[in-house]
Amino acid sequence: MILVTGGTGLVGSHLLYKLTSEGEKVCALRRTNSKPDLVKKVFSYYTSDFEKLFQSITWIEGDVRDKISLDKAISGVDKIYHAAAVVSFHSDDKKIMKSVNIQGTANVVNVALENNIKKLCYVSSVAALGYKNENGYITEKNYWKAAKFKTAYAKSKFQSELEVWRGIYEGLDAVIVNPSVILGPGNWINGSSSIIHRVYKGLKFYTSGSTGYVDVRDVVNCMVQLMESDISGERFLLNGGNLSYKEVFGTISTCLFKKPPRYNARPVWLEIAWRLAKVWQMVSGQKPVITRDLAKAAFKTNYYSNDKVKEALHYEFIPINQSLEDNCKLYLKDLEVKIQN
């Protein structure tokens, strides 16, 4: 039996499809207020037999912050994929990220050690890595360096990784993956998938920054292959390609038959924008679309290397332009269904 935490998220839902389609016996931990219907929707993108696959999942209500529910979920399990996490660039979410990402991971590691789990795969992030090397690329060897401008999310993922390394030192067989920005269908309103929805609604500005992107199918494929291998006690950066925001927005615009963003936003504009958004939050109580952390990230240029995982697994990633095109087609298909209904 395989346990998946964070099964209703982007990575978790695609991982559940991968595992069930390969005939694996799977149970998934979900919070009471989470929506497993999103998982069924993801399944439907890839097969007409989605209902049968979805019904094969054993759902367990629980929370990684609650060790008692984890103890219940671990019964009969020999492998764990830990994908549960809070991803946020809002300072107000610092407390919940610390609770879910750090303490939740500590609980998963402890339960795995106590029950002699065969292997664990932890989904971290490139946010937990360090800065560029002399060649200008970020790799698995670029270790974390504390800095006052590190986001609360980055700090939580770094500290979460420390819990997994602690488990490894205590005898846990585990691997860590560090995906860049993950592209995949599912929830078009929240998370990294919302970039397509925002471009469709109309995006006039782009920024000068760049970052790495990876297709969710590549993420889950690498996770499964690493879990089935003899590799342990290592982490792997998962990145399909490095593109500028202008390139990404332009490709999405073309695929959605929309005009690409025309104006190159200046740093000072976003500095003003996030401050105004913060004031509006105080008045309205609504979380702002743009935050200080997002404003700063929009102008950073980061390039990520995928050499280690390509060599270890002999793996080839889906080109990012192809990933964007595939996702845009699914978005338009969902939009057409929504209009018809």
Closest CA to 159 of 101, 115, 100: 101
Reported confidence tier of residue 341, pLDDT bands at 50, 70, 90:
low
Q: What is the CATH number of the domain that holds 145?
A: 3.40.50.720
Residue 273 pLDDT > 60:
no
Asked, for residue 92, whether it belongs to a domain, the answer is yes
Q: What is residue 277's predicted lDDT score, i.e. its pLDDT?
A: 44
Residue 178 pLDDT > 50:
yes
Alpha carbons 171 and 117: distance in angstroms, whole number: 10
Reported confidence tier of residue 174, pLDDT bands at 50, 70, 90:
very high
Lowest mean pLDDT among 74-78, 108-112, 174-178: 74-78
CA 271 to chain CA centroid, Å, is 26
Q: What is residue 272's predicted lDDT score, i.e. its pLDDT?
A: 44
DSSP line for 128-146: GS----TTS-B-TT-----
Tell me what the mean pLDDT of segment 283-301 comes to: 56
Asked, for residue 255, whether it belongs to a domain, the answer is no
Tokens of residue 201, six digits = 């609604």
Tell me what the mean pLDDT of segment 106-123 comes to: 93
Q: What is residue 94's predicted lDDT score, i.e. its pLDDT?
A: 79
Residue 274 pLDDT > 80:
no
Q: What is residue 198's predicted lDDT score, i.e. its pLDDT?
A: 84
Alpha carbons 182 and 193: distance in angstroms, whole number: 8
Q: What is residue 32's predicted lDDT score, i.e. its pLDDT?
A: 79
Residue 17 — φ and ψ, nearest 5°? -65, -45
Reported confidence tier of residue 62, pLDDT bands at 50, 70, 90:
confident
Say if residues 192 and 136 touch (Cβ distance below 8 Å). no
User: Greater confidence, 294 or 37?
Assistant: 37
178 sits in which H/E element: strand 174-179
Spatial CB neighbours of 228, under 8 Å, sequence gap ≥ 6: none
Residue 23 pLDDT > 60:
yes
Lowest mean pLDDT among 1-15, 85-99, 270-284: 270-284
Tell me what the mean pLDDT of segment 110-120 comes to: 93
CA 40 to chain CA centroid, Å, is 19
Asked, for residue 47, whether it belongs to a domain, the answer is yes
Reported confidence tier of residue 90, pLDDT bands at 50, 70, 90:
low
Residue 281 pLDDT > 50:
no
Asked, for residue 266, whether it belongs to a domain, the answer is no
Reported confidence tier of residue 152, pLDDT bands at 50, 70, 90:
confident
Residue 298 pLDDT > 70:
no
Q: What is residue 136's predicted lDDT score, i.e. its pLDDT?
A: 77
Lowest mean pLDDT among 133-137, 202-206, 299-303: 133-137
Three-state secondary structure readout of 210-272: EEEEEEHHHHHHHHHHHHHCCCCCEEEEECCEEEEHHHHHHHHHHHCCCCCCCEECCHHHHHH
Q: What is residue 163's predicted lDDT score, i.e. its pLDDT?
A: 95
Count the Cβ atoms, other than its own, within 10 Å of residue 133.
Answer: 12
195-225 pLDDT, tens digit per residue, is 888 888 887 776 778 889 999 999 999 999 9
227-249 pLDDT, tens digit per residue, is 999 999 999 999 999 998 889 88
Reported confidence tier of residue 119, pLDDT bands at 50, 70, 90:
very high
Residue 271 pLDDT > 70:
no
Closest CA to 285 of 296, 294, 295, 277: 277
Q: In this structure, what DSSP letter does residue 298 have?
A: T
Domains in the chain: how many in total? 1
Asked, for residue 26, whether it belongs to a domain, the answer is yes
Asked, for residue 76, whether it belongs to a domain, the answer is yes
Asked, for residue 128, whether it belongs to a domain, the answer is yes
Q: What is residue 279's predicted lDDT score, i.e. its pLDDT?
A: 40
Mean of all residue pLDDT scores within the chain: 84
Q: What is residue 11's predicted lDDT score, i.e. its pLDDT?
A: 94
Amino acid at 206: Y
Asked, for residue 246, whether it belongs to a domain, the answer is no
Query: Dmax over Cα atoms in the chain, in whole Å?
Result: 56
Q: What is residue 180's predicted lDDT score, i.e. its pLDDT?
A: 93
Count the Cβ atoms, other than its own, within 10 Å of residue 5.
Answer: 27
Determine the structural domain holding residue 123 and report its residue range.
Answer: 2-185+213-240+303-320
Q: What is residue 170's predicted lDDT score, i.e. its pLDDT?
A: 94
